[in-house]
Amino acid sequence: MGGGMLFRTIAISLAALTLALPILGGPLAGSGIGISPYLANIIGQIATFALLAIALDLIWGFAGVLSLGHGLFFAMGGYLIAMHMLKEGYVNAGVVPDLMTFMGWTELPGHWAFFESFPYTAALILILPGMLAFAYGWMSFRSRVSGVYFAIITQALTYVAMLLMFRNDTGFGGNNGMTGFVSLLGLQMGAPQTAVLLATASTGAALAAFLLCGQLVRSPFGRMLVAVRDDEARLRFLGYDTVWPKLAAWTLSGVIAAIAGALYVPQVGIINPRLLSPEVSIEIAVWVALGGRGTLSGAVIGAVVISALKFWLTGFAPDLWPFILSILVIVVVVGLPNGLSDLRLPGLRRMRDGR
Amino acid sequence: MLLIRLLTFLACLGASPAFAERAALSAALCAPSVAAKAEALRALAEAGALGGAAEAAWAQTLVVAVEARSFRCATGGAFIGEGDAALDAATLAPSPAPIDAAEMPINNRIRAAAASAAAALTLFTDVDPAARVEATTTLERRREALSLSILDAALAVETDASVLALLKPLRARMMLVDLAPENRIRAIEAIAADATLRNRTMISEALATEPDATVQAAGAAAMERIDRLIVIGKGLSTLYSGLSYASVLLLAALGLAIIFGLMGVINLAQGEFIMIGAYAAWFVQNAVRAVMPGLIDWYLIIALPMSFLAAALVGVVMEALVLRRLYDRPLMTLLATWAVSLLLINLVRVTIGTQNLEFHQPFYVVGGIHVVGDFIVTLNRLFAIAIAGLAFVGVVLVLRYTTFGLNMRAVAQNRAMAGAAGIDARRTDRMAIALGSGLAGLAGVALAPLYNVNPNMGTGFIVDSFMVVVLGGVGSLLGAVIASFGIGQINVIIEPLYGAVAAKVVVLLLVIAFIQRRPEGLFAPKGRR
């Protein structure tokens, strides 16, 4: 599992994309094989979705713990990086953030302190979601909350976070969210080169997470996770502590999701509480379910196929998308228990079996 | 010929005892001083109010004439209109005005008195309650021609509740400025009998200018009593709105708990089944309006079984097409039912539209019963509570006393053993899904009179009703009841203090803290998993 030909194909494609993007989107941008900044931006966004799907597959596909709240970690990463960009623009370029204007504030609230520093923000992007995931996971796994209970409560957490973020007085921009970013690490927002570089970073991060998680699930730790998924009670009976493997995977998953969010928000140029709505989080699970759980490859394929389809369809038939998505989910969930990898496509099957 | 008719007419009128009085009243309007004229208008209003319908109509005619400046005074009496077309003011019979008839002079004071008298008389002459309500509000400002006896007469004949609701406080306010202190005390007592914030303000305003010490003391005592009752009323109305929220939650959560307890399936489309129920009620309303308009007030009752069936039907179809194949993969049912909810929302959005539906409000869901303080038992909430109560009793009866209920309990306890005992577990599942979905449909009817009905209405309920299921323990009816009441109360208690978001946060944190101790809910069966 995981080490098959499909896994290698995806790893190689991601690596090739990461290497080729700066060239095709840079010097060759205007040529026949070049990539426009617009296309690079879409590729970058889809790469962050793939990263997010990898995060969810790690915990759902391998440890059997479904989260319907990964949008929470994703949004956390996004909000933190957005705060950095706004604060940095305010301090260095004197651009007053919109949220200060409509709240009538003369200065940013206390929790915005130090956000002009990128290292500080980057550390928070790793630490805060990690701490939240750890705290919630520790409380839940320790008292053996699992299955649909766990899933529903993650969704409730995300929902409550959305309600909190919709408030204007919390100092996170309320329902307007945050937008009007100036620059990130010296890169000018909106410049073609920035889009290409961010997209490259996203595919690079997806590749890194893909390889890291691939190694992880093949290690003894990964076997342990699968054992937890398949029969936790027996494992406990045999004397293993099942809380810590689950907790480690869950926390790592939350951190990866936050990194995905931090890469996503500079590319779309806005964040608002809609990212925390239950639908977004469920859609992440849909990517993984459609691609096939417990393979990592499936998660990437699911995220790429569904979000590419969504980009393409919402362009000309936005009303059609919910119908296609819901029917696709029903058909796949009912007919293809392992997602699209159940399709008897000869080539795909050979790749999956590593023959 | 004309003379004979006039004579017989006058003779008839002369026989009436009211005639002399009418003549005196109308002649008084021609008094020289402004004060006397205003007093005459007041007397006219009182005579009309106390003299019965015919008298009131006559007085009204005179007042209208005064206001329209067509009232004439002459040596021979008072007249309405000019020259040969004039009417005698006392008899309203045609009677050419004498040559010296002059228009009754009018100034602002008289105009105010006339407006007041007209409004007072409208209370007795107008059949339209809306006009009487308007007249009462005019009287609040213009009390020139108003007296306690007029108000008492009006209160005696008035039958419309909305007019009465305005007349009673008006009378109390009249009494508050009465010259006799004991009358003012009586007025304060009368006002304090109805302990509302508005009446408290009324008393405190009166006390600000009150010279008499005994009245002051009585007023302070009355205000204290009102304060106490207002606090009680506030507490009761918080409890009440929590109760009504809880009853809707209960309807949604009962269905969820039944389905989850039996099959381990969490139905994320439960909120959309509520929406289906509300839309079914809307269709029933339109059908009733088209076919039997006379029964339109009863459409909500007719909708109860229809909405139950509509939601149950959607649930059964969902079970047959989707859930049946997923019983061994509970996590996948989350995604599948979410997809169903997305599909339902968008189907409704495309076919019917996204706007809020208009519902006819029958009399049994409009208004409320005033209990104490500012606490009003609003009927639309009572309707929801009643539906939830009946549905709960129904579910308990079904589970306890029917074969289906017995089968359901058996399958929930041990599916394999139940199957071995000859129970068709799959069929039981289907019926449980129908029951659970139908209950959500009932919630839709309960919500129709008090909530916005649109394709997205169900999404707000899903998180709360899951909290009920999680807190209440799987498949436990009593647990669901207690959990929904707890969550409903927490929501309404915290909401006014810290806002709706804080309420949701607290509920969620409580649930998370709670499942630390009891991961299987409040009322989990004993034993270790």
CA-based nearest residue in chain B for residue A323: B343
Q: Do A149 and B332 touch (CB under 8 A)?
A: no
Report yes or no: B510 at the A interface, CB cutoff 8 Å.
no
Strands B102-103 and A178-179: unpaired
Residue B517 at interface with chain A, using a CB cutoff of 8 Å: yes
Q: What digits encode the pLDDT tens for the residues B449-502? A: 888 888 888 887 777 777 787 777 665 677 888 888 888 888 778 877 777 777
Which of B163, B166, B218 lies closest to B192 in space, CA to CA? B218
E strands within B296-446?
A: 368-372, 375-378
User: Token match 């928000």: residue?
Assistant: A265
- Are A66 and B334 spatial neighbours (Cβ–Cβ below 8 Å)? yes
Name the residue among B332, B452, B256, B473 with its Cα closest to residue A290. B332
| Total residues found in chain B within this entry | 529
Tokens found for residue B255:
């269905």
As beta bridge partners, residue B71 has B80
CB contact under 8 A, B346 and A68: no
The C-alpha atoms of residue B70 and residue B353 are separated, in whole angstroms, by 58
Q: Which of residues 335-354 of A touch B (CB under 8 A)?
A: 337
> Cβ contact (<8 Å) for B470 and A167?
no
Q: Are the beta carbons of A333 and B508 separated by less than 8 Å?
A: no
Count of domains forming chain A: 1
Give the DSSP letter of residue A183. Answer: E
Dihedral over Cα of B407, B411, B413, B418: its sign: positive
Q: What is the pLDDT of residues B67-99, one digit of tens each?
A: 888 888 887 778 888 777 788 887 888 877 777
d(CA A329, CA A339): 9
The C-alpha of A340 sits at a distance from chain B's nearest C-alpha, in angstroms, of 15
> Chain centroid to CA B115: how far?
32
Cα separation, B118 vs B125, in Å, equals 10
Report chain B residues whose CB lies below 8 A from the CB of A325.
Answer: 339, 342
Residue-range definition of the domain harbouring residue A251:
5-353
Rounded-to-integer distance, Cα A136 and Cα A329, Å: 29
Nearest chain A residue (CA) to B509: A157
Q: Do B516 and A157 touch (CB under 8 A)?
A: no
Distance from CA of A149 to the nearest CA of B (A): 7
Q: For B325, which of A68, A326, A334 is closest by C-beta distance? A: A334
Q: What angle do CA B397, B398, B404 make, to 5 degrees?
A: 150
Q: What is the 8-class DSSP label of residue B94?
A: B
**Rounded (to 5) percent helix, strand, coil in chain B:** 75, 5, 20
Residue B510: alpha-carbon gap to chain centroid: 34
Give the tens place of pLDDT for each residue, B219-262. 788 878 888 888 888 888 888 888 888 888 888 888 888 888 77
Q: Does residue A306 belong to the interface with chain B, where contact is any CB pair within 8 Å?
A: no
Give the confidence band of B529 by pLDDT, cuts at 50, 70, 90.
very low
- CA distances (Å), origin B456, targets A66, B274, B347, B348, B354: 25, 10, 12, 10, 8
Q: What angle do CA A72, A75, A76 make, to 5 degrees?
A: 85
The pLDDT of residue B17 is 55
A167 touches B: beta carbon within 8 Å? yes
| Sequence-ordered list of residues with C-beta below 8 angstroms from that of B393, at least 6 positions apart, any chain | none
Structure confidence at residue A348 (pLDDT): 52
Which residue of chain B is at minimal alpha-carbon distance from A162? B501
The length of chain A in residues reads 355
* Residue recorded with tokens 């691609």: A291
The pTM assigned to this predicted structure is 0.75
Per DSSP (E only), the strands in B38-171 are: 71-74, 77-80, 87-88, 102-103
Does residue B1 carry a pLDDT above 80? no
* Contact residues on chain A for B336, CB-CB shorter than 8 A: 329-330, 333-334
Give the pLDDT confidence score for residue A354 in this predicted structure. Answer: 42
- Name the 3-class secondary structure at B73: strand
Phi-psi bin for B77: left (phi > 0), alpha (psi -120 to 50), beta?
A: left
Inter-chain CB proximity B512 and A139 less than 8 Å: yes
Of the pLDDT bands very low, low, confident and very high (cuts 50, 70, 90), residue B279 is very high
Q: Hey, which residues does B79 pair with through a beta bridge?
A: B72, B88
Q: What is the pLDDT of residue B11?
A: 47
Contacting residues of A for B466, CB less than 8 Å apart: 152, 155-156
**Partners of B372 in the β-ladder:** B375
B334 vs A66, A157, A325: nearest CB: A66
Searching chain A, which residue's CA lies closest to the CA of residue B331?
A: A148
CA distance between the termini of chain A: 12
Task: Classify each residue of B188-212 as buried b or exposed e, where b means 16 or more C-beta atoms within 10 Å of its C-beta.
Answer: bbbbbebbbeebbebbeebbeebee
The C-alpha atoms of residue A79 and residue A68 are separated, in whole angstroms, by 19
Mean pLDDT within B395-411: 87
Which pLDDT score, from 0 to 100, does residue B15 have? 46
Comparing B274 with B329, the larger pLDDT belongs to B274
CA distance B168 to B156: 11
Per residue in A77-119, pLDDT tens?
999 998 888 888 888 877 777 777 777 777 777 777 787 788 8
Residue B346 near residue A322, CB atoms below 8 Å: yes
Residue A292: closest C-alpha in chain B: B332
Q: Which residue has the tokens 């604060």?
A: A87
Do residue B266 and residue A152 have CB atoms under 8 angstroms apart? Answer: yes
CB contact under 8 A, B322 and A334: yes
DSSP state of B32: S
Using only C-alpha atoms, what is the Rg of chain A?
20
Distance separating alpha carbons of residues A56 and A289, to the nearest angstrom: 10
User: How much is the pLDDT for B527?
Assistant: 46
- Neighbouring-strand partners of residue B378: B368
Q: Tell me, what's the pLDDT at B528?
A: 45
Say yes or no for a CB contact (<8 Å) between B466 and A163. no
B18-47 residue pLDDT tens: 677 888 888 888 888 888 888 888 888 888
**pLDDT by residue (tens digit) across B93-152?**
887 777 777 787 788 888 888 888 888 888 888 888 888 888 888 888 787 778 778 888
pLDDT of B374 strictly over 50? yes
A63 Cβ under 8 Å from any chain B Cβ: no
pLDDT digit string, tens, across residues A16-42: 888 777 777 666 666 666 777 788 888
Distance CA A235, CA A219 (A): 17
Q: Which position has the token pair 């915990």?
A: A59
Does the structure show a pLDDT above 70 at B269? Answer: yes
Mean residue pLDDT of chain A comes to: 83
Q: pLDDT band at B509, cuts 50/70/90?
A: confident
Residues 397-436 of B with CB under 8 A from A: none
Shortest distance between the Cα of B516 and any Cα of chain A, in A, equals 5
The whole-number average pLDDT for the span B434-443 is 91
Which chain A residues contact residue B529 at CB under 8 A?
144
Q: What chain A residue is nearest to B341 in terms of C-alpha separation?
A: A326
How far off is chain B from A117, nearest CA to CA, in Å? 31
Going residue by residue through chain A, which has 355 residues, state the pLDDT in tens, using 9 for 90 and above. 445 778 888 888 888 888 777 777 666 666 666 777 788 888 889 999 999 999 999 998 888 888 888 999 999 999 999 888 888 888 887 777 777 777 777 777 777 778 778 888 889 889 999 999 998 888 888 877 777 778 888 888 888 888 888 877 777 877 788 887 877 787 777 777 888 888 888 999 998 999 898 888 888 888 888 888 888 888 888 888 888 888 999 999 999 999 999 999 988 888 888 888 888 888 898 888 888 888 888 888 889 988 988 888 887 777 888 888 888 888 888 887 777 766 655 455 554 444 3
Whether residue A163 and residue B321 make contact (CB cut-off 8 A), yes or no, is: no
Supply the pLDDT for residue A101: 76
Q: Is A21 exposed, middle or buried (0-12, 13-18, 19+ CB in 10 A)?
A: buried
Q: Which are the contacts of B386, defined by CB distance < 8 A and separation ≥ 6?
A: none
Strands (DSSP E) contained in chain A are 178-179, 183-184, 187-188, 270-271
pLDDT the model gives residue B14:
47
Q: Average per-residue pLDDT in chain B?
A: 80
- Check pLDDT > 80 for residue B522: no
CB within 8 Å: B339 and A326: yes
- Angle between helix axes A243-268 and A220-237 (nearest 10 degrees) is 140
| Three-class DSSP labels, A264-302 | HHHHHCEECHHHHCHHHHHHHHHHHHHHCCCCCHHHHHH
> Is the distance from CB of B55 to CB of B48 less than 8 angstroms?
yes
Between CA A302 and CA A325 the distance in angstroms is: 12
CA distance B258 to chain A (A): 15
Q: Rounded CA gap, A26 and A7, in Å? A: 29
